Structure 1
Amino acid sequence: MENAYGKVWLIGAGPGDLELLTLKAARVLESADVLVVDALVDPAVARFAPKARVVTTGKRAGCRSAPQDFIQRLMRRYARQGKTVARVKGGDPLMFGRAGEEIAYLTANGIAVEVVNGVTSALAAAASLTVSLTHRDFGVGGVTFVTAHRQDHSAPDWATLAAAGTTLAIYMGLNRVDEVADGLLAALPAATPAAVVACASTSAERKLVTTLGALAADCRAAKMPAPALILVGDALGAAVGTALPAERAVA
């Protein structure tokens, strides 16, 4: 016999601009009974869910936040009450959004899960800079999405990542920018174009276009705020209004 459990939707709210929500996300939110919302999501997303109870479960680096286990148990509890739960995450839930853990947990507890994709911050950052991350004139054959903040606090193999020849989209790297830059400089020239976009797509957005060799110092000088996305690679040389590596620009 089929159980009477509700359902959990893992919804990507995009990088911050609510106009980047998909039509599907808006439709699902409208039917939600409960919104479980991350800290980086604009609270105004609740207007798309007029009948929903809103539960904030902020997770910001360096700040006190709800434990992952608590969030999972919270979703399970509401779903077992027969409710439609919308777990709303910044960016795309499948990109460093802990969706894998939540899917596994909920599925193991007999709760149906579906995912609604959102615009991930790397793409929002590229749009802000008006650059293609796979610009064929620069011989770029792909994009590598990587986090600088691993669960065990270890660092990625930056030299190997750099040697792949792809544009690097580095999430959660601002607080480790010296380590990131030093690791990449082991395999890339200091003149390699780089950029940082903070709070992409929002009114607080800031952009820094620089070179890998100057990346850490320029981030400090510009006091770039988090959350920020770091992009490194030759494709960044096409950033509008810059002539890299001869000059750097902060907006």
Structure 2
Amino acid sequence: MIKRILVGLGGTPFTTVSTQCATKLASLHQAQTTGVTVVDIGKLAKVGPVPAGADFYAQRMRDRKAQVSREGIEQAIDAFKASCSAQSVVCRRIEYEQKDPFTAMIAEARYNDLTIFGLRSIFDYGFVSDPDKAIIKLVTQGVRPILAVAETDRPVRKALIAYSGSMESAKAIRHFLHLKLWPDVKLHIVHFKERADSEPFLLRDAAEFCQAHGFEVQTDLLDGQARSDLLPFAHDIDADLIVMGNSVHKTLIKQLLGDTVLETIKSADLPLFLSQ
């Protein structure tokens, strides 16, 4: 059951998609929404030290950042309110970021069932100096599950579940099933045999659990590595969404979410459902 949706508003193309996705889901589930800005405008002009020969890339980052302005944020808020009104969705309020980026989102996430935000925009638009740490902070501080939208909107008819066999991966499946965001979505579970001890019964058990919740399921046990092969496989089967779990039990930054999740966030052109 889903009753409250938190939406990150950053004034980028991802914000437009987040708004569209949130209001459609809120209308379908009779849920309320809250908008929260995720940009500290005052810090956007800072690119940081520029290595020799990197002037072109520094300028491209400045241009990207220039697209995100105070005016753009206000336009995004107006569009969010208008979309809520058009869908007859209750917008509870708008929270403005006042401190470090994502502080307000972390605080608001406590009392929302789902957070919708374009996580890739953190990399593409330079919201923060260290995107990896920012994403780790969101997840470790309790912002989950997250629906990380892509830059373009698309109906979700088929979801690819990346199942590693870990407890975190199983929790992600359970959270996705319980929320039932898209009641008629078809599921496709894939497990990559990255280790010699991969067990086929893991797929069987996961599929039976999904079927018990009334979903149509396909499975695939594949050779390869999820980090490099997950996205190509998602496109091969025409998936509209990827479901992934994560772990927050380790201390090293790249191990907290895992290379696979971080790499997928950086490069995915499909929406991601991230949970733990």
Q: TM-score, normalised by structure 1?
A: 0.30
- State which structure, 1 or 2, has the greater radius of gyration over its C-alpha atoms: 1
Of Structure 1 and Structure 2, the greater helix share is in: 2
Q: TM-score, normalised by structure 2?
A: 0.28
